[in-house]
């Protein structure tokens, strides 16, 4: 793959950035749920393309809470997102290490 936007390291950085943005948006007393929903929709798509089912499912739930303007529901989903991201990160880092070892042998 020559497109750097499809590399695991870029995907990890993109995911971390989106999670941070979602957390920041939820810190507002009255979050912009429409903007939040759009961001979560993007995150869901990129997560699905990676095969990150746990994050994709959390995004589906998070979008439902956004559409209901349910800040507590959004925060509850995000409480689980950190763990799901760490699992994804570990898997992608292992994949990158395997790939690096294969290309060096």
3 state SS of 70: coil
Residue in 99, 100, 61 with CA at minimum distance from that of residue 78: 61
pLDDT on residue 7: 72
Q: What is the pLDDT of residues 78-100, one digit of tens each?
A: 999 999 999 989 988 898 898 88
Handedness of CA 44, 46, 48, 53 (dihedral sign): negative
69 vs 5 pLDDT, higher one: 69
Q: How does pLDDT run across 32-81, given as a tens digit for each residue?
A: 999 999 999 999 998 998 889 999 999 999 999 999 999 999 999 999 99
pLDDT for 1 equals 39
Torsion sign over Cα 98, 100, 103, 105: negative
């Amino acid at each position: 793959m020559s497109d750097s936007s499809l590399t695991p390291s870029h995907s990890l950085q993109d995911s971390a950035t989106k999670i941070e943005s979602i957390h920041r948006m939820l810190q507002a007393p009255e979050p912009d749920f429409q903007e939040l929903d759009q961001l979560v929709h993007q995150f869901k798509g990129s997560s699905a393309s990676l095969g990150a089912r746990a994050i994709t499912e959390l995004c589906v739930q998070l979008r439902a809470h956004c559409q209901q303007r349910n800040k507590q529901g959004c925060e509850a989903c995000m409480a689980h997102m950190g763990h799901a991201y760490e699992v994804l990160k570990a898997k992608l880092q292992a994949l990158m290490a395997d790939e690096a070892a294969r290309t060096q042998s």
